[in-house]
Amino acid sequence: MVQFPGLEGVVAAETAISLVDGQQGMLIYRGHWAKDLAVYNSFEEVAYLLWYGKFPSANEYEAFITKFKKYRVLGVEEKKVLESLPLQLDVMSALRTVISSMSHTFTAWPPTVDDAIRITAMAPTIIANLNRRNEGVEFVEPHPDLNHVANYLYMLKGEIPQKAHVAAMNAYAILTMEHGMNASTFSSRVVVSTQSDIVSAICAAIGAMKGPLHGGAPSEVMTMLNGIGSKENAEQWMREHLEKGNRLMGFGHRIYKTRDPRAEALKTVTGRLASEDPWLDLAVYVEELAIKILEEYKPGRRLYTNVEFFAAAVLRSVEMPSTLFTPTFTSSRLVGWTAHILEQSQNNRIYRPQSEYVGEMPI
């Protein structure tokens, strides 16, 4: 048998959900450029596209939004589970536990779009309430007049968020919704391929996302931007950093060998909003200067900005606690996971790869 460590290069399924092409720098959702969706569409519109394969009509969208808002309100039982968890439990583990406790209320098999909407809608409420509980302040109920992204920011702080922050977070959420057959998505498809329930598949995906090699947050980029501090200090800081043999964080990507389309979309959005937020303004300036300096210090390396650079800028601008970086990423990736779970269930075959025995043989 031919070995493919980590299954790298192995095609495990056909999908109509997304295309990730690292060589050409392409990310496509259901036949649409993800970078355009992030600039011109709402979270709810893109979620509908990934789940249903098309954009909704006006009537379909109105019914969809109504259902979304209904499902983001936690019931008494869910709140009891949340409140019973140890305070020292990290948010990802707590999120997984709360979702797992609700498995009896979901469809057993096959999973439905309604299940996907419900899990995606309630996840930000769980995350926000876990964070407020850890901070020792009262829960904030979902705001009936706010969309998905604005409501998440509202529940975290208890105040209506700035429009610039909502726009930036909306773009971030759309661009982190889906990214092909990554570790967490594959985990969800493997579990549901056994005809297990959607909650079990999501809990497996959360477990994979929790690992630092997959769901690692852009903390190092945040540290770099904090260290630079201002435009006046940017060039000297970066040159000194490179001359010490250190990397500039947020540049280069394992998959994308050219410009990361997610970074380009976030750059477009943050560029438009830079005049409204000093942190976004600094990030845009640092990114443009860093590209020039990197070409000088590392000629021919083509170290373009990756999504983590602008993700850090967006999360910092909305004052997102670092403990919520990966959970927030997870709350948007739920759309992609559930889209893959639905697709797997519609043309299912259980995953059963082989392994090569390298142990001892009996005498």
- Whether residue 147 is found in the same domain as residue 195: yes
Residue type, 122: M
Q: What is the pLDDT of residues 17-60, one digit of tens each?
A: 999 887 787 899 999 999 999 999 999 999 999 999 999 999 99
Is residue 40 situated within a structural domain?
yes
Is residue 359 situated within a structural domain?
no
- Whether residue 290 is found in the same domain as residue 144: no
Please tell me the predicted confidence (pLDDT) of residue 9: 74
**CATH code at position 119:** 1.10.580.10
Q: What Rg value do the Cα atoms of the chain yield, rounded?
A: 21
Closest CA to 113 of 189, 191, 51: 51
- Whether residue 125 is found in the same domain as residue 232: no
Q: Quick one: angle between helices 219-228 and 278-297, nearest 10?
A: 90
- Whether residue 205 is found in the same domain as residue 101: yes
Is residue 342 situated within a structural domain?
yes
Is residue 56 situated within a structural domain?
yes
Is residue 305 situated within a structural domain?
yes
**Residue in the structure block whose two tokens are 């201002």:** 230
Query: Is residue 283 within 8 Å of 270, Cβ to Cβ?
Result: yes
**Residue in the structure block whose two tokens are 């976004």:** 280
Question: Catalytic: which of 78, 308, 340, 343?
Answer: 308
- Whether residue 255 is found in the same domain as residue 188: no
- Whether residue 133 is found in the same domain as residue 196: yes
The tally of domains found in the chain comes to: 2
Q: What is the pLDDT of residues 232-289, one digit of tens each?
A: 999 999 999 999 988 888 886 656 566 778 888 888 888 888 888 888 888 889 988 9
- Whether residue 67 is found in the same domain as residue 189: yes
Is residue 170 situated within a structural domain?
no
Question: Which residues have C-beta within 8 Å of that of residue 254, sequence separation ≥ 6?
Answer: none
Distance (Å) of CA 322 to CA 17, 85, 161, 250, 284: 30, 20, 19, 17, 21
- Whether residue 282 is found in the same domain as residue 330: no
Residue 291 pLDDT class (50, 70, 90 cuts)? confident
Is residue 26 situated within a structural domain?
no
Residue 117 belongs to domain spanning: 31-163+183-212+323-346
253 is catalytic: yes
Average confidence score pLDDT of the chain:
90
- Whether residue 159 is found in the same domain as residue 62: yes
**DSSP character string of 85-109:** S-TTS-HHHHHHHHHHHTGGGS-SS
Is residue 173 situated within a structural domain?
no
Q: What is the pLDDT of residues 137-181, one digit of tens each?
A: 999 999 999 999 999 999 999 999 999 899 999 999 999 999 999
Question: Catalytic: which of 78, 253, 264, 287?
Answer: 253
308 is catalytic: yes
Residue 120 pLDDT class (50, 70, 90 cuts)? very high
- Whether residue 297 is found in the same domain as residue 327: no
**CATH code at position 308:** 1.10.230.10
- Name the pTM for this structure: 0.89
- Whether residue 159 is found in the same domain as residue 289: no
Please tell me the predicted confidence (pLDDT) of residue 220: 79
- Whether residue 233 is found in the same domain as residue 86: no
Q: What are phi and psi of 29, to 5 degrees?
A: -110, 115
